[in-house]
Amino acid sequence: MTEGLVSKVLVLDGSQVHQDLIKQFCDAHALVPLKVRKNRLMSVLRSNIDLGAIMFAEDYGGSPEESAEIAVRIHTVRPELPIILRRTSEASLDGVSESLRRVCCAAYTAADMAILGKVMDEYIFSLVYPNALVRGISEITESVLSSQFKQLTPRWETPYIVRDRVIFGEVFSLIPLESAWCRGYMMLQTEEQPILDTLNAYAVSNGGASFRTVNNLLGEVTNLIWGAFKNRYVGDQLSASVNQIQVPLIVNHKHKYISFGTENPQLCFLYTLTDENSGNTVRLYQRFIFNLSWSPEDFREIVHDSSELVDSGELELF
């Protein structure tokens, strides 16, 4: 597990005793537990894009039949999210109904929470992200956002791991990332209207901003982050493989869904840009999806020699 990373899990468990136990477990395993009322469950699942897994109690529905029906509905809405079943008897899926067994990935009991830790490592924290990479991405992105949104104050949450595939907002950008140690994509997602409001409030765009203005701005932000990422972590090195594989990207606009052809969890950053005068905010989600190649053991941070920068004219001696 990478130091400093967390993952949000939805806890569907009506037992107060077990809720307390799960809370303790989550605190010790870099997990952020979330609860939701039953009558709001499906609407939350259709809109929440931050989740890593679902912890589901065997008796959550009140009866085995109702619990199985709820689990199947969850899986239908969000098939990419692993459902981990808490049982009262044994830490296996033996003995549960066929429909419940089909949608749950694993089971555990309160008597042996170590099993739950192994499941989380397998389904959420399966990829190791170098601390220097995680820290550097935040630094690069914060610098770019500050330069492009000078009137707003950027803030960011603790980076986290997600498995869901729901798209946030109306506009997103994708740019490939390729090096000897990774191949995949960086994706930025945001809402159009808050950016339009900001641009118009500060007269950034003459004649009024439009959706094309937002597109251009997001494209510029994406390019600047990519350029800094490449300069810091990729350099001019080529990918280790000449015959590179590709997988199709699937986008379903109706369901705001995107798939990168892999079950790997994704590295996610959430940045909030706040107008301190009006209180208006812009949210921007940044995801890194290493769906084609991931070799963190080969990761290196490029340290540029200051003498080279002086020789190139980028730096001048004082």
Phi, psi of 256 (to 5 degrees): 50, 50
CA distances from residue 191 to 171, 277, 304 in whole angstroms, order as listed: 6, 20, 36
Give the closest residue to 50 by CA, choosing from 104, 10, 2. 10
Quick one: 6-123 is in which CATH superfamily? Response regulator (3.40.50.2300)
Q: pLDDT tens digits, residue range 261-283?
A: 888 899 999 999 999 988 899 99
Best CA proximity match to 289, nearest among 202, 136, 170, 162 = 162
- Check residue 253 and give its pLDDT: 83
Whole-number percent of the chain with pLDDT over 90: 64
Is 206's pLDDT higher than 90? no
Band the pLDDT of 251: cuts 50, 70, 90. confident
Same fold, 6-123 and 131-312: no
Does the pLDDT of residue 184 top 80, yes or no? yes
Better pLDDT: 254 or 218: 218
**313 compared with 186, residue with greater pLDDT:** 186
Candidates 272, 270, 286; CA nearest to 154 is: 272
pLDDT interval class at 204 (50, 70, 90)? low
Query: What is the rounded distance in angstroms from the CA atom of residue 190 to the CA atom of residue 282?
Result: 8
Opening angle at CA 171, ends 37 and 191, nearest 5? 50
Q: Is 62 left (phi over 0), alpha (psi -120 to 50) or beta?
A: left
- Predicted TM-score (pTM) of the model is 0.85
Average pLDDT of the chain, as a whole number:
88
Q: Please choose, from the candidates 211, 172, 217, the residue with its C-alpha nearest in 3D space to the C-alpha of residue 190.
A: 172
Rounded percentage of the chain residues whose pLDDT exceeds 70: 90
Q: In the prediction, which pLDDT does 157 show?
A: 86
Burial 118-136 (b: 16+ CB within 10 A, else e): ebbeebbbebebbeebbeb
pLDDT at 310: 44
Sorted by where each begins, the domain ranges of the chain are 6-123, 131-312
What's the mean pLDDT in 128-157? 93
Q: Give the pLDDT score at 91.
A: 83
Following DSSP, what letter does each residue of 198-209 receive, concatenated?
HHHHTT-STT--
Local confidence band at 309 (pLDDT 50, 70, 90 cut-offs): very low
Q: How far apart are CA 291 and CA 289, in angstroms?
A: 6
Per-residue pLDDT band at 318 (split at 50, 70, 90): very low
Alpha-carbon gap, residue 10 to 283, rounded angstroms: 22
Q: Give burial (CB, 10 Å; 0-12/13-18/19+) of 175.
A: middle
Give the per-residue pLDDT at 254. 84
Give the per-residue pLDDT at 238. 53
DSSP secondary structure string for all residues of the chain: --TT-EEEEEEE---HHHHHHHHHHHHHTTEEEE---GGGHHHHHHH---EEEEEEETTTTSSHHHHHHHHHHHHHH-TTSPEEEEESS-SSSTTS-HHHHHHEEEEEETTBHHHHHHHHHHHTS-S---HHHHHHHHHHHHHHHHHH-TTSEEEEPPPEEE---BPPSSEEEEEEEE-SSEEEEEEEEE-HHHHHHHHHHTT-STT---HHHHHHHHHHHHHHHHHHHIIIIITTPPPS-SS------EEETTTTEEE-S----EEEEEEEEE-TTT--EEEEEEEEEEEEEE-GGG-------HHHHHHHTSS---
Class for domain 131-312, per CATH?
alpha beta
